[in-house]
């Protein structure tokens, strides 16, 4: 039932101990039975993967003292007390001291199984949280910034590390909320330029009249309100990195001026005839297909080809669902520290909602959901929009399978033989799965096999 997790059962009466152990084993639990608290403590060490079920009345060390010893070793281990009628007040006090629950004799076997099951579910969740936190604490360097265990994130980290050491301009392509600025900062922080400025500008957040002054700077008197010289963003990024976010929104009339700067690595402030040499790495970020825009004459094709040297594609969150638990835990810990709250465990129902959601806002939406969860705003308001209904296990398996097939096709540009080899399945099996999931391999193909 709970692979790798055990029940430590303590009772000094052999027939009772055997009966309780048999009840739990028939329910699917792996049971370690002990006749004394002292024996059990040799096994129940910090990190024990399981729960403790103990009688209160034991010959040497009482169950309440065992409770204290266990919680001192590891407060995440649930302890269930079995009490006689006269011990109920003692059990209530023990629960205030940290016991998970108590069962009053006599009790039906189903009662023992029910309480133990709930306690074990809590222990499994806490163990998963501890594992995620250990993994987060062990992250170093780029892995601590670009979190994720999925194949697409491992590839992205490798690409960033390879490009960071160069001075090549980079184009980032990804949906809103996929972390384009975070990747740009990684390129800067892991490059020889890390000690100089990282300058980010949103091309869609400035009116065209201010864009040239913002990027190139101006001399005093260059226009009516220019009361003094101003250094532009490009010049301010000298020796460092310049991020041009939402570059698709840059006006066409300004694109030709930017193109000249990128080609010549020289600029003129507004109102000046003096050229200034600039040494900047340019990272352009976009959420749209710039090539398609250039074909529609909505983006200069010469600027597109100038930027299209090193391209990094950032995966949407739905393309790396296996990273959702780790990311949610990371954002939840950040939010808990920020708001002075205790991190909350994520139960099975919550995990199902997280994995089933489509995440149109990607990582940014997930971060907001984690913050709402820490603030106690769970339920229908946690995910926006909420999924229509929780997915069943077969539906979730189908969803994961579809994502893996799409990733393989994308990675191998629609080449069926290579995709089959990567997925470890035969060609006929792959064709059957493509038909079942409604995936068109031609959408990923560039040229023939």
| Cβ proximity of 11 and 17 under 8 Å | yes
Report the pLDDT averaged over residues 356-384: 83
Q: How confident is the model at residue 185 (pLDDT cuts 50, 70, 90)?
A: very high
- pLDDT tens per residue across span 321-361: 889 988 998 898 889 888 888 777 777 677 778 888 889 99
Q: What's the CATH architecture for 6-137? A: 3-Layer(aba) Sandwich (3.40)
What confidence category does residue 388 fall into, taking pLDDT thresholds of 50, 70 and 90?
A: very low
pLDDT of residue 433: 86
Distance CA 238, CA 118 (A): 60
**148-313 is a CATH 3.40.50.300 domain:** yes
Query: What CATH code would you report for 317-381?
Result: 1.10.8.60
How far is residue 212's CA from residue 257's CA, in Å, rounded to a whole number?
9
134-141 contacts: CB < 8 A, separation 24 or more?
135/326, 136/326, 136/329, 136/330, 136/333, 141/190
Residues of the chain with CATH 3.40.50.2300: 6-137
| pLDDT of 247 higher than 90 | yes
65-115 pLDDT, tens digit per residue, is 999 999 999 988 999 999 876 667 777 788 888 999 989 888 999 999 999
Alpha-carbon radius of gyration of the chain = 30
410: its two tokens: 């994308």
Taking CA atoms, 249 is separated from 143, 244, 253, in Å, by 31, 10, 12
First-to-final CA distance of the chain: 46
In the chain, which segments carry CATH 1.10.10? 393-444
Residue 81 confidence (pLDDT): 92
If pLDDT is split at 50, 70 and 90, which confidence band does 380 have?
A: low
Burial of 289 (0-12, 13-18, 19+ CB in 10 A): middle
Q: What is the pLDDT of residue 410?
A: 73
Mean confidence (pLDDT) of the chain: 86
Mind listing the pLDDT tens digit for each residue in 121-137? 888 888 877 776 666 55
| Higher-confidence position of 347 and 27 | 27
Greater pLDDT, 251 or 386: 251
Is residue 391 packed enough to be buried (19+ CB in 10 Å), middle (13-18) or exposed (0-12)?
middle
Q: What is the pLDDT of residues 186-198, one digit of tens each?
A: 999 999 999 999 9
| pLDDT attached to residue 234 | 92
- CATH number at 393-444: 1.10.10
Q: What are the pLDDT digits (tens) for 267-288?
A: 988 888 888 999 999 999 999 9
């Amino acid at each position: 039932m709970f692979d790798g997790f055990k029940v430590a059962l303590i009772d000094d009466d052999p027939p009772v101990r055997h009966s309780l152990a048999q009840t739990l084993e028939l329910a699917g639990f792996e049971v370690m039975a002990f006749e004394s608290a002292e024996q059990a403590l040799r096994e129940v060490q910090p990190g024990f993967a399981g729960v403790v079920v103990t009688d209160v009345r034991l010959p040497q060390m009482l169950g309440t003292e065992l409770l204290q010893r266990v919680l001192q070793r590891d407060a995440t281990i649930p302890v269930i007390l079995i009490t006689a009628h006269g011990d109920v007040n003692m059990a209530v006090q023990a629960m205030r001291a940290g016991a998970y629950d108590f069962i009053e004799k006599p009790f039906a076997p189903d009662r023992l199984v029910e309480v133990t099951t709930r306690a074990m579910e809590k222990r499994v969740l806490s163990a998963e949280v501890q594992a995620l936190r250990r993994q987060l604490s062990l992250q170093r360097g780029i892995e601590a910034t670009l979190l994720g265990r999925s194949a697409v994130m491992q590839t992205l980290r490798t690409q960033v590390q390879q490009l960071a050491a160069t001075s090549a301009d980079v184009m980032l392509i990804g949906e809103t909320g996929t972390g384009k600025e975070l990747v740009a900062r990684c390129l800067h922080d892991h490059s020889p330029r890390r000690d100089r400025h990282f300058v980010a500008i949103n091309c869609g957040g400035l009116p065209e009249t201010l864009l040239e002054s913002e990027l190139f700077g101006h001399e005093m008197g260059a226009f009516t309100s220019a009361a003094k010289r101003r250094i532009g963003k490009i010049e301010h990024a000298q020796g460092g990195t310049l991020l041009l976010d939402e570059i698709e929104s840059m006006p066409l009339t300004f694109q030709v001026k930017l193109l000249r700067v990128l080609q010549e690595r020289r600029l003129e402030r507004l109102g000046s005839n003096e050229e200034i040499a600039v040494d900047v790495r340019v990272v352009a970020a976009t959420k749209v297909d710039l090539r398609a825009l250039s074909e529609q004459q909505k983006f200069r094709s010469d600027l597109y080809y100038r930027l299209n040297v090193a391209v990094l594609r950032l995966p949407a969150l739905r393309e790396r669902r296996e990273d959702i638990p780790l990311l949610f835990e990371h954002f939840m810990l950040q939010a808990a520290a920020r708001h002075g709250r205790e991190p909350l465990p994520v139960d099975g129902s919550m995990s199902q909602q997280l994995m089933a959601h489509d995440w149109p806002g990607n990582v940014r939406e997930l971060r907001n959901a984690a913050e709402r969860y820490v603030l106690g705003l769970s339920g229908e308001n946690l995910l926006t929009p909420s999924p229509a209904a929780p997915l069943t296990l077969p539906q979730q398996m189908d969803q994961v399978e579809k994502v893996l097939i799409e990733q393989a096709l994308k990675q191998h540009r629609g080449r069926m033989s290579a995709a089959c080899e990567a997925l470890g399945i035969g060609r006929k099996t792959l064709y059957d799965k493509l038909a079942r999931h409604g995936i068109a391999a031609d959408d990923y193909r560039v040229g023939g096999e």
